[in-house]
A and B are shown apart, each in its own frame.
Chain A
Amino acid sequence: MTQPSSNDKNIYLPKVAILDRVQDEIQEVKTFFWHFENPADQEEFKKFRPGQFAQVSIFSQGEFPASLPPSPTEKETFFTVRTVGSVTSGLHQLKAGDKFAVRGPYGNGFPMEQYYGRNLVFVAGGIGLIPLRSCIIYALANRDRYKKIQVFYGSRSPRELMYTQNLREWEKIEGFEFYTTVDRGDADWKGNVGVVGSLFKKPDVKVPVENTTAFVCGPPIMFRFVIKDLKDMGFHDRDIVSTLERYMKCGVGKCGHCCIGMAYVCTDGPVFTYEQIKKLGEDI
Chain B
Amino acid sequence: MRARIVDKNDILKIVDILRKDHEVIAPFQGRGRDSFFDVVTDANRDQVKMHLHNPYYPPKRYVLPHIEKLFDIDQAKMDVKAAYVEPKRAIFGIRSCDVHGIYHLDRFYLGRDYKDPYYERLRRGLFLVNVVCTDKELDIDNGCFCMCANTGPASTEHFDLQLMDLGDVYMAVAGSPKGEALFADPIFKRGDDSHVQRRRSILNEVRKHFKLAVNWYSAAVRYITTGQVPEELWAQVGNRCLECGACTYLCPACTCFTVADRKVDGKVVERVRLWDSCALSGFTRMAGGHNPRRAVHDRRNRRFFRKLAHYFVQRELSMACVGCGRCIDVCHGDIGMPSVVEIIRRGCAGKENDSTIIKR
B305 in contact (CB, < 8 A): yes
B30 in contact (CB, < 8 A): no
Q: In angstroms, how far is the closest chain B Cβ from the Cβ of A250?
A: 7
Q: In angstroms, how far is the closest chain B Cβ from the Cβ of A172?
A: 35
What residue in chain A is nearest B291 (Cβ atoms)?
A247
Residues of A within 8 A of B117 (CB): 9-12
Question: What 0/1 readout, one digit per residue, does chain B (290-328) give for beta carbons within 8 Å of chain A?
Answer: 101110001000100110010110000000000000000
Residues of B within 8 A of A99 (CB): 78
- B257 with A255: CB separation less than 8 A: yes
- Known contacts being A9-B117, A12-B70, A254-B116, is A60 close to B109, with CB within 8 Å? no
B239 in contact (CB, < 8 A): no
- A254 with B257: CB separation less than 8 A: yes
- B311 with A85: CB separation less than 8 A: no
- Known contacts being A11-B116, A14-B80, A99-B78, is A254 close to B287, with CB within 8 Å? no
Residues of B within 8 A of A13 (CB): 71, 80, 82
What residue in chain A is nearest B108 (Cβ atoms)?
A254
A261 in contact (CB, < 8 A): yes
Residues of A within 8 A of B258 (CB): 249, 255, 257
B32 in contact (CB, < 8 A): no
Residues of A within 8 A of B84 (CB): 6
Question: What 0/1 readout, one digit per residue, does chain B (71-102) give for beta carbons within 8 Å of chain A?
Answer: 10101001011101000000000000000000
- Known contacts being A13-B71, A283-B292, is A256 close to B257, with CB within 8 Å? yes
Q: How far is the CA of A198 from the CA of B112 in the complex (A)?
A: 45
What residue in chain B is nearest A266 (Cβ atoms)?
B114
Question: What 0/1 readout, one digit per residue, does chain A (90-107) give for beta carbons within 8 Å of chain B?
Answer: 000000000101000000
- B269 with A60: CB separation less than 8 A: yes
What residue in chain B is nearest A244 (Cβ atoms)?
B292
- B278 with A256: CB separation less than 8 A: yes
- A16 with B286: CB separation less than 8 A: no
From A37, A249, A260, A281, contact of B259 by CB (8 A): A249
Q: How far is the CA of A246 from the CA of B302 in the complex (A)?
A: 15
Q: In angstroms, how far is the closest chain A Cβ from the Cβ of B304?
A: 13
- B80 with A101: CB separation less than 8 A: yes
Q: How far is the CA of A220 from the CA of B289 in the complex (A)?
A: 13
- A257 with B284: CB separation less than 8 A: yes
- A59 with B261: CB separation less than 8 A: yes
- A11 with B115: CB separation less than 8 A: yes
- B255 with A282: CB separation less than 8 A: no
Q: In angstroms, how far is the closest chain A Cβ from the Cβ of B256?
A: 3
A187 in contact (CB, < 8 A): no
- A62 with B82: CB separation less than 8 A: no
Q: How far is the CA of A99 from the CA of B306 in the complex (A)?
A: 39
Q: How far is the CA of A88 from the CA of B288 in the complex (A)?
A: 12
What residue in chain B is nearest A12 (Cβ atoms)?
B70
Residues of B within 8 A of A257 (CB): 256, 258, 276, 283-284
Q: How far is the CA of A267 from the CA of B312 in the complex (A)?
A: 14
Question: What 0/1 readout, one digit per residue, does chain A (52-66) give for beta carbons within 8 Å of chain B?
Answer: 000000011111000
Q: In angstroms, how far is the closest chain B Cβ from the Cβ of A3?
A: 15
B205 in contact (CB, < 8 A): no
From A6, A59, A245, contact of B73 by CB (8 A): A59
Q: How far is the CA of A9 from the CA of B75 in the complex (A)?
A: 22
Q: How far is the CA of A12 from the CA of B109 in the complex (A)?
A: 13
From A60, A255, A259, contact of B263 by CB (8 A): A60
Q: How far is the CA of A122 from the CA of B73 in the complex (A)?
A: 41
Q: In angstroms, how far is the closest chain A Cβ from the Cβ of B273?
A: 8
A7 in contact (CB, < 8 A): yes
B136 in contact (CB, < 8 A): no
A112 in contact (CB, < 8 A): no
- A255 with B287: CB separation less than 8 A: no
Residues of B within 8 A of A141 (CB): none
Question: What 0/1 readout, one digit per residue, does chain A (266-284) give for beta carbons within 8 Å of chain B?
Answer: 0100000000000001111
A1 in contact (CB, < 8 A): no
What residue in chain A is nearest B289 (Cβ atoms)?
A84
A262 in contact (CB, < 8 A): yes
- Known contacts being A12-B70, A253-B114, is A282 close to B286, with CB within 8 Å? no
- A259 with B302: CB separation less than 8 A: yes
Question: What 0/1 readout, one digit per residue, does chain B (122-157) give for beta carbons within 8 Å of chain A?
Answer: 000000000000000000000000000000000000
A252 in contact (CB, < 8 A): yes
- B293 with A9: CB separation less than 8 A: no
- A84 with B288: CB separation less than 8 A: yes
Q: In angstroms, how far is the closest chain A Cβ from the Cβ of B72?
A: 11
Q: How far is the CA of A281 from the CA of B227 in the complex (A)?
A: 8
Q: Which of A177-192 contact B (CB under 8 A)?
A: none
Q: In angstroms, how far is the closest chain B Cβ from the Cβ of A62?
A: 5
Q: In angstroms, how far is the closest chain B Cβ from the Cβ of A16?
A: 5
B358 in contact (CB, < 8 A): no
Residues of B within 8 A of A85 (CB): 287
What residue in chain B is nearest A283 (Cβ atoms)?
B292
Q: How far is the CA of A55 from the CA of B147 in the complex (A)?
A: 42
Question: What 0/1 readout, one digit per residue, does chain B (19-40) give for beta carbons within 8 Å of chain A?
Answer: 0000000000000000000000
Q: In angstroms, how far is the closest chain A Cβ from the Cβ of B6?
A: 39
- B306 with A282: CB separation less than 8 A: no
- B78 with A16: CB separation less than 8 A: yes
Q: How far is the CA of A7 from the CA of B118 in the complex (A)?
A: 11
From B108, B114, B283, B285, contact of A11 by CB (8 A): B114
- A255 with B276: CB separation less than 8 A: yes
For the complex of A and B, list the 8 residue pairs with the smallest distance between their C-beta atoms, beginning with the closest. Answer: A256-B256, A84-B287, A252-B114, A11-B114, A60-B269, A99-B78, A249-B259, A10-B117
7 A-B contacts (beta carbon < 8 Å): A59-B73, A59-B269, A249-B257, A254-B116, A255-B259, A255-B273, A259-B278
New contact pairs (7) apart from A6-B82, A256-B278, CB-CB < 8 Å: A13-B71, A16-B78, A60-B269, A61-B261, A255-B273, A256-B257, A283-B298
